[in-house]
Chain A
Amino acid sequence: MTNIRTLLISLCILLTAGCASVPTDPAAAAVYHESNDPWESFNRKIFAFNMAADEYALRPVVNGYRAVTTVGFRSKVRTFLNNLKTPLTIVNDVLQLNFKNAGTDLSRFIINSTLGFFGIYDIAGKMGLPSNSQDFGTTMAVWNVPSGPYLVLPFLGPSSVRDASGLVGDVFLDPVFYAGRGSDNQDVKRGFWVIDGVNVLTSYESVVDLLDEGKKNSLDFYAFMRSMYQQHRKKTVDRAKGIGDSGKQQNDYDFSLDDEEEE
């Protein structure tokens, strides 16, 4: 208990030390508020650590995985793992009171787990049931919990205070977690550890090309990643809230360009 308290106090001191003050220049202040990143200097350090971890630890594993598997095989693995994540999505659909999506996702899970041979084939997708992925971070956003400041997590990358706590929530809400970890059978438990490992690997493998492209094209890769994450996350939350689909509320990209026109 004392150790946890010490850890929390140390983390608070670290974050406060890395907290940037609001710039006095109006243009710089506008950037500061827009980026929602008061812990930027701390986040940049974690980002640099992640980049080093990518280069020396994760990338060789991904390269090895790509070398010994085909594109088709990796696609099947992703489909299988996505199917295993569907129960968690269903729980989040229900928590978001989105029973229509919960029904669709339940149908997807049953169809793909049976006709799709344990989820290796996305038969439900071919039947017109679109895939959906929800997490507890999105659920909290639907409940109007503010995102909190931008946060870079070690190994996991871009996040926010809300989404990072959502990751913890997902572990406890995931029925598959209980099925695996709650089993008395040691082989089942080990099997789920392997699945977790493969899950991390495939998730990373599916984004490395985007990371490489971002690194290649950007001037400030940290700022680029922050922007990508925040915009994409906003889109995910808006979709869960039903914003934009019927045009009843504006999307973030519906900004006016008139202010920027040459006067």
Chain B
Amino acid sequence: MKKLLTILFCFISLTFHAVAAEQAEVEKFAKDLADDIIKNVVLAKVPLQQKQDAFRKSFLAAINLKTTARFTLGRYAKTAQPEQLQAYTDALADNIVCTWANRFNDYAGGALSPDIVSFVSTRQNENGDFYVTSKLKLPNSENDIEMIWRVSDKKGKLKLADLIVEGVSMLISYRNEYTAILQQNGGDIPALTEMLEKKNAVLKKTSGKSA
């Protein structure tokens, strides 16, 4: 009986230790990504193009682009041809880079410090993904902004699965908007890709409040 209890205790301790270690690793992943973006995009005193390149390098490496692209097409992804899906994925990647790099560049207009993001807590959901909660402190804003980094561990590699700002998920937002367009155009993915490419061409050149 004593032996059995000892084995059980060791098993629980090891499991708890493994989960805690993985949680620490996930938090480090999210923190490193945030630090990288703050340093090279938000606070960097470089032209917009350079910021977009820096963001592309760190953010696209952190996400699973293929999964993201398929998710944002909803059920329409199932009927897409591989080449259509590839063209859409490329256009979406460009759009993510332009939108978010420009957004972070706009934040740089205020008096920001390197510690604008503070990490609060981490939880794991039933699917095994981790949700790292952080607070974003922007100048001239009365309240902190809640930013959740959804991190998944697929095949031993950590990836950013989603970014949730004040309850608004990046993935769901893209999907809601793009599937609404596909619903109206009869599921024409190349037409959606073309719209994205046109938008990207404008966004690549512009930052600030208007385009």
Contact = CB atoms under 8 A, between A and B. Distances in A.
Interface stretch (B9-17, B51-59, B71-79): B71-79
B177 A224 contact: yes
Contact of A219 (B125, B131, B199): B199
A235 to B, nearest CB: 2
B66 A262 contact: yes
Given A27-B76, A238-B167, A257-B67, A219 B173 contact: no
Contact of B180 (A79, A131, A223): A223
A227 B172 contact: yes
A106 B119 CA distance: 30
Interface stretch (B20-28, B30-38, B40-48, B181-189): B181-189
Interface stretch (A29-37, A167-175, A189-197): A29-37
A55 interface: no
A231 B126 contact: no
A26 B167 contact: no
Contacts of A241: none
Nearest to B64: A257
A254 B125 contact: yes
A253 B177 contact: no
Contacts of A251: 167
A218 B103 CA distance: 13
A212 B181 contact: no
Contacts of B99: 217
Given A28-B183, A235-B166, A217 B143 contact: no
B70 interface: yes
A236 B166 CA distance: 9
Contacts, number: 133
The majority secondary structure among interface residues of chain B is helix
A79 B164 contact: no
Interface string B181-211: 1110001000010011001000100100111
Interface string A215-249: 01111100110111011101110100000000100
Contacts of A261: 67, 70
Contacts of A235: 166-168
Contacts of A2: none
A64 to B, nearest CB: 17
A256 interface: yes
17 contacts: A27-B179, A31-B182, A35-B180, A71-B140, A131-B143, A216-B209, A219-B177, A223-B177, A223-B180, A227-B168, A231-B168, A231-B169, A253-B164, A253-B171, A254-B126, A254-B127, A255-B172
Interface of B: 66-67, 70-71, 74-79, 99, 102-103, 106, 123, 125-127, 129, 131, 140, 142-143, 148, 150, 152, 161-162, 164, 166-169, 171-173, 176-183, 187, 192, 195-196, 199, 203, 206, 209-211
Nearest 9 Cβ contacts at the A-B interface: A235-B167, A227-B176, A223-B180, A27-B75, A260-B71, A253-B169, A31-B183, A216-B211, A260-B70
